[in-house]
Amino acid sequence: MINDTDTELIWDYLKHVHPDLTLNHVIIYKSLWQVEPQTGEKIIQDNGLARATTYKILKELTTKQLIKKTSYKPIGYYANQPIKDYHNYSQKLIKKLLKGKEQLKKIMKNSTSLSGELYLIKKDGGQQKLILKQNRKTLQEQQLNEIKQGIEQQLAQIKQNKTKSWAIYK
């Protein structure tokens, strides 16, 4: 890591909004938080990164609209409004996450694999618990008794139907 704690903090915040940014991206981005646009050569001198790496990162930061470049020669680069940009990207990310949450809720609601099925899990020590698949909660004693009564009724019905079937074939 580098010794510049500000750059590390900036990277820590930005990597959640832009997960593909590297520490080198942040080093260059932070160096452009100045009033005057910086040329590519000045950025290379100040940060000690390779020429190809620097220009690749400048292109990527421009594409992400984190920095802008001047229209005059020599071309200069600058970070327009870092706080506003961070806020805007954060808001977009929050909207995307909320939309994803709603989509997942719809999918789960309509999913047959998450219907009211039960499954048995083994816990530490070999104990077993019956779990309701839909909400992953352990069934309580009352619920287990209701299930047991339902199963006993179904078995009794099957036995009665089986007895009727044998009676017809005799």
Q: What are 134-150's pLDDT values in tens digits?
A: 555 666 666 777 777 88
Range ranked top by mean pLDDT from 6-20, 65-79, 115-129: 65-79
List of residues 6+ apart from 129 with CB closer than 8 A: 120, 121, 123, 138, 139
The backbone torsions φ and ψ at residue 99, rounded to the nearest 5 degrees and listed phi first, read: -65, -45
Residue ranges and CATH numbers for the domains of the chain are: 5-82 (1.10.10.10), 114-169 (no CATH)
Q: Which residue in the block uniquely carries the two structure tokens 């009724």? A: 153
What's the predicted TM-score (pTM) here?
0.56
